[in-house]
């Protein structure tokens, strides 16, 4: 089956050799929704930057549960956004870091050779990606491309949940479930940077990791159920949703903020049922139940770059995979036991 798609820059992406003389690149490509085996690395046309775009030579691209959901096309609800019958963008992945290879005529913020990181809405598991300049930020000098690629989606979700949604204040008690995962590992550090008293929930094998990220307290969920202790939290960022909302609310102060943040759920609607329940419950309790969807804001990426530069936040890299093993990387992420982030090097 032929893939023909338009990148966010409007560049044409064609299979195989493309037009005579047209530049090509290697990319992980999927022609249909399905398990990781639908991914194959092949040669496709290299996108060309539009006036406001940057062509990035991708050095590293991180993958996260959202990329797994989009690859499988489940929950089916997401096909409304990503393509009903097959993925609109045949190249998976979103987060990237690399070197500027070319810039569009209107781009003044970056020059060829600059190291950048950010999002590509047209796929990042490829040698090149065209990205609007206003969704990129310079890689801090103290960061590798692998560390930088790990940041955009997960750290942004953590930052926006804690700052925009929960408005975390110094001294507040904040609990993070999935504290060893992509979002959680950043959330523990960001909450700590905001001056909160942070509790991370994780499994036994990850207790030392979560403590090393700055958690004041660690709850090992294999021995302790945080919803059944006396402790009450001002903010709970629930990245796992292993317990029902009613149980988690027991651990919340009477006016606390609970952010249900798991993308998992049924095959059709995913987390939608829980989101609706949370919204309805919010209307009848003084507790604030606030499911949210992160928004790709460059200003927030700049805030994260500052936190990374100052050393208050660091990326935790679980595994790296070469592009040829992109399917294995997504299989691993889909299993749900990631420690920090999984990054594909290109
Ligand atoms: N709202 C948004 O816009 C937004 C943005 C990004 C991500 N998300 C969602 O956020 C969720 C988390 O993403 P992620 O990238 O952090 O996932 P992840 O990297 O797969 O992390 C999951 C982590 O949770 C741990 N875990 C499993 N069961 C647990 C339990 N009962 N209690 C505590 N920890 C447990 C896992 O380790 P062990 O299994 O070893 O314990 C793993 O480290 C996903 O569902 C994703 O879709 C939402």
pLDDT tens for 10-20 read 334 444 444 45
Range of lowest pLDDT (79-83, 192-196, 223-227, 307-311): 79-83
C-alpha count within 13 angstroms, C-beta hemisphere, residue 212: 11
The ligand 1 atom nearest the CA atom of 154: 6
User: Could you tell me the two tokens for 209?
Assistant: 């990791």
pLDDT, residue 85, reads 87
Which residue minimizes the CA distance to atom 2 of ligand 1?
293
The ligand 1 atom nearest the CA atom of 183: 16
Distance 264 CA to ligand 1 centre (A): 9
User: Could you tell me the two tokens for 319?
Assistant: 């595994």
Distance 333 CA to ligand 1 centre (A): 10
**What CA–CA distance (Å, rounded) separates 336 from 18?**
38
Distance 332 CA to ligand 1 centre (A): 13
DSSP 31-78: SSS-SGGGEEEEEEEPP---TTEEEEEEEEEEE-HHHHHHHHT-SGGG
Domains and CATH numbers, the chain: 5-150+315-345 (3.90.180.10), 153-289 (3.40.50.720)
Which residue minimizes the CA distance to atom 38 of ligand 1?
337
User: Could you tell me the two tokens for 227?
Assistant: 């919803």
Say how many C-beta atoms besides its own lie within 10 A of residue 204's C-beta.
10
Across 26-59, b (16+ Cβ under 10 Å) vs e yields bbbbbbebeebebbebeebbbbbbbebbbbbbbb
pLDDT band at 268 (very low <50, low <70, confident <90, very high): confident
The ligand 1 atom nearest the CA atom of 293: 3
More confident residue, 292 or 339: 339
Q: Are strands 128-132 and 95-103 parallel, antiparallel or unpaired?
A: unpaired
Which residue minimizes the CA distance to atom 48 of ligand 1?
261
Kindly state the DSSP code that residue 139 receives in the 8-state scheme: P
Which residue minimizes the CA distance to atom 47 of ligand 1?
263
Euclidean distance between the first and final Cα of the chain, in Å? 25
> How many whole angstroms from its chain centre is CA 252?
26
Predicted TM-score of the model (pTM): 0.93
Q: Report whether residue 19 contacts ligand 1, using a CB cutoff of 6 Å.
A: no
Q: Which helix (H) or strand (E) holds 80?
A: helix 79-82
pLDDT, residue 21, reads 62
Question: Of the residues 94, 161, 166, 183, which should be mutated to test ligand 1's pocket, given the most ligand atoms within 8 Å of the CB?
Answer: 183
> How many whole angstroms from its chain centre is CA 180?
14
**What CA–CA distance (Å, rounded) separates 63 from 17?**
27
Q: Report whether residue 150 contacts ligand 1, using a CB cutoff of 6 Å.
A: no
Average per-residue pLDDT for the chain = 91
Range of lowest pLDDT (83-92, 108-117, 303-312, 320-329): 83-92
Reply yes or no on whether the pLDDT at 316 is more than 80.
yes
Distance 240 CA to ligand 1 centre (A): 5
Across 243-268, b (16+ Cβ under 10 Å) vs e yields bebeebbebbeeebbbbbbbbebeee
Alpha-helix residue ranges (DSSP H) falling in 213-343: 245-250, 272-282, 298-309, 326-335
The ligand 1 atom nearest the CA atom of 264: 45
pLDDT band at 255 (very low <50, low <70, confident <90, very high): very high
Question: Of the residues 178, 190, 258, 331, which should be mutated to test ligand 1's pocket, given the most ligand atoms within 8 Å of the CB?
Answer: 178
Closest CA to 291 of 268, 260, 320: 260
Q: Report whether residue 152 contacts ligand 1, using a CB cutoff of 6 Å.
A: no
pLDDT tens for 134-190 read 999 999 999 999 999 999 999 999 999 999 999 999 999 999 999 999 999 999 999
Distance 262 CA to ligand 1 centre (A): 7
């Amino acid at each position: 089956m032929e893939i023909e798609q338009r990148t966010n820059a409007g560049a044409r992406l064609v299979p195989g050799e493309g037009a005579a003389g047209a530049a090509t690149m290697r990319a992980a490509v999927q022609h249909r929704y399905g398990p990781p085996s639908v991914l194959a690395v092949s040669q496709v046309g290299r996108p060309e930057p539009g006036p406001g775009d940057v062509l990035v030579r991708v050095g590293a691209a991180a993958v996260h549960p959202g990329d797994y959901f989009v690859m499988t096309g489940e929950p089916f609800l997401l096909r409304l956004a990503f393509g009903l019958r097959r993925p609109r963008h045949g190249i998976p992945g979103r987060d990237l870091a690399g070197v500027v290879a070319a810039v569009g005529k209107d781009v003044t913020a970056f020059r060829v050779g600059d190291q950048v990181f950010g999002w590509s809405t047209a796929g990042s598991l490829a040698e090149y990606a065209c990205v609007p300049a206003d969704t990129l930020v310079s890689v801090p000098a103290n960061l590798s491309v692998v560390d930088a690629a790990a940041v955009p989606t997960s750290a942004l979700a953590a930052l926006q949940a804690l700052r925009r949604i929960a408005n975390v204040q110094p001294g507040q008690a904040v609990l993070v479930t999935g504290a060893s995962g992509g979002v959680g590992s950043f959330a523990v550090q960001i909450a700590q940077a905001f001056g909160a008293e942070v509790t991370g929930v994780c499994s036994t094998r990850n207790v030392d990791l979560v403590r090393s990220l700055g958690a004041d307290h660690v709850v090992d969920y294999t021995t302790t159920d945080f919803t059944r202790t006396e402790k009450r939290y001002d903010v709970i960022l629930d990245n796992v949703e292993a317990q029902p909302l009613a149980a988690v609310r027991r651990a919340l102060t009477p006016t606390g903020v609970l952010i249900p943040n798991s993308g998992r759920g049924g095959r059709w609607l995913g987390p939608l049922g829980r989101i609706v329940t949370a919204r309805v419950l919010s209307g009848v309790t003084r507790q604030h139940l606030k499911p949210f969807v992160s928004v790709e804001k460059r200003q927030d990426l700049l805030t994260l770059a500052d936190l990374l530069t100052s050393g208050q936040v660091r990326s935790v890299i679980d595994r790296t995979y070469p592009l040829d093993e992109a399917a294995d990387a997504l299989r691993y992420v889909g299993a749900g036991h990631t420690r920090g982030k999984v990054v594909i090097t290109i």
